[in-house]
Amino acid sequence: MPDTAIRKADSRNPIRDRPAVTAAIPTFRRPALLKRAVKSVLNQTYENVRVVVSDNASGDETPEVLAKLAESDSRVTYHIQDKNRGPIANFEFVKNQVHTPYFSFLSDDDLLLPHFYDHAIERLSEAPSAKFFCGQVVMLDPDRGTYAIRPRKVWSNGVYQAGSATVKMLEKMFIWTGSVFSKDVRDRVGPFAESGGADIDFLVKAAATFAFVVSLTPVAVFSAYERRQVHTIPPKGLAFCYRDALRSIREQGVVGQEGLTKLRDELREKFKVIIGQRLNRHFIEGDWERFDEAARALRGLRGLPASKRIRMALGNSRSRNTWLTRFVRATMARIKEWKLLRESGGDTCTMDELVAKFSLSARGHAEDPSSTG
């Protein structure tokens, strides 16, 4: 069982004596969700927090929402871009506005559980060599109401020394929504990769360069829409993102040749898995144009599972309208729904209900209903 014990912060320590943490929030045209995200930071049990928001020229009511938040709480500051600079540039900008010892990234449609920063700073204080913290994230599909905790496998509680878990970070990556970084990590890792693999690049470089501490405790909720960015980038674009991330890591010089070879092989496997997931989804939905795109990307890859090859055969233009293909599609859809529901403990939840389920109790333990027994 994961060690989920959380020791409450010593109330005798004045807030000013505890290191400040900044939540860096890039936003674009999600004013209502942005307000919820900001409130989840301001409502942390760890009160020495800052919020810095960068509005990527939303052109809607976002400035008014931000002005009200800043007026009601001096811990909130915000910037409004003069034009839309793209998501990576907006993340880069808000990251560079951090002036506190620690910070975290928070997307405008996600939120933090109340004891996140208390737990992270406590664990970091217990491991002076560690420069960042990684906790689990509850991945909620807002459309279905199903959820899962990630990552589940590979990791255990404790400190990982610099470079000892670089490939592991790529294999079963933490979601950076549940991470707290020292400003030293930002300054050493440098600018984000220009491709869509910015989070991969940042976390892998951080793990290669610094010791970090892991806690298998849910600390945040992530809006895991089925068609989030990584699942909508065309296969060629995704392959470029991964190559660009590997190039950036190689140029940084934080991983030797053996490590680079392992990272390259792991990126190939991740590409195969993600495109394979798309193939299945498009097969079930009957989205044959995107199915064909995924099938073309997979066709030349080695080690493709037999199940994927069967799916590709059933979904080709000659077979996709047969009774067998329709039967397999319907069966796969039912199995998919059953798996999603099983992983979320047999029920569905709203975001507010998940916060109640996974918030840390007064006894100092994380409520994880799916890990009982």
Q: Which of 48, 26, 56 is nearest to 38 (CA)?
A: 26
pLDDT per residue over 280-309, tens digit each? Answer: 989 999 999 999 999 999 988 888 889 899
Given pLDDT bands bounded at 50, 70 and 90, which one contains residue 227?
low
- Domain contains 148: no
Query: Residue with structure tokens 């699942």?
Result: 231
- CA dist 176 and 169 (Å) reads 11
> Looking at the domain assignment, is residue 295 inside a domain?
yes
The pLDDT, as a whole number, for residue 23 is 98
pLDDT of 144 over the 80 cut:
yes
Across 3-12, 69-78, 79-88, least confident range: 3-12
> Last residue of some domain: 109, 143, 158?
109
Pinpoint the alpha helices (H) of the chain. 31-42, 62-72, 87-95, 116-126, 166-171, 183-189, 198-209, 235-252, 257-285, 288-299, 306-314, 323-343, 351-358
Residue 33 or 364, more confident: 33
Give the whole-angstrom CA distance, residue 273 versus residue 166.
19
Q: For 32-68, what is each residue's pLDDT tens digit?
A: 999 999 999 999 999 999 999 999 999 999 999 999 9
Q: Is the pLDDT assigned to residue 196 strictly greater than 90?
A: no
The mean per-residue pLDDT over the stretch 175-197 comes to 89
For the chain, what is the domain count? Answer: 2
Q: Is residue 122 part of a domain?
A: no
Where does the pLDDT of residue 230 fall: very low under 50, low under 70, confident under 90, or very high at 90 and above? low
At residue 85, the pLDDT reads: 92
In a domain, 141, yes or no: no
pLDDT digits (tens, 9 = 90+) for 59-83: 999 999 999 999 999 999 999 999 9
Say which CATH number the domain at 97 has. Answer: 3.90.550.10
Among 109, 135, 164, where does a domain finish?
109
344-359 per-position pLDDT tens digit = 777 788 888 888 888 8
Q: Which two tokens stand for residue 117?
A: 């920063």
Query: By percentage, how much of the chain surpasses pLDDT 90?
Result: 57
Q: Is residue 186 part of a domain?
A: no
Residue 371 has pLDDT above 60, yes or no: no
Highest mean pLDDT among 22-31, 136-145, 186-195, 328-337: 22-31
Residue 4's pLDDT is: 30
| pLDDT confidence of residue 364 | 44
* Alpha-carbon torsion, ordered 304, 305, 307, 312, to 10 deg: 0
Query: Is 55 part of a structural domain of the chain?
Result: yes
Structure-token pair, residue 347: 């029920």
DSSP 224-275: --TT-GGGTS-HHHHHHHHHHHHHHHHHHT-S-HHHHHHHHHHHHHHHHHHH
175: Cα within 13 Å, side-chain hemisphere: 27
Average pLDDT, the chain: 86
219-254: b or e for each residue (b if 16 or more CB lie within 10 Å)? bbbbbbeeeeeeeebebeebbebbebbbebbeebeb
Q: Give, rounded to a whole angstrom, the gap between the first and last alpha carbons of the chain.
A: 9
In a domain, 130, yes or no: no
Paired tokens of 311: 């799916």
Where does a domain end: 88, 109, 130? 109
Across 19-25, average pLDDT: 97
For residues 299, 304, 307 and 312, what is the CA-based torsion angle, rounded to 10 degrees?
0
pTM of the model: 0.83
Asked whether residue 280 is assigned to any structural domain, the reply reads yes
Banded pLDDT at 174 (limits 50, 70, 90): very high
Range with lowest mean pLDDT among 117-131, 180-194, 211-225, 252-266: 252-266
Residue-range definition of the domain harbouring residue 103: 19-109
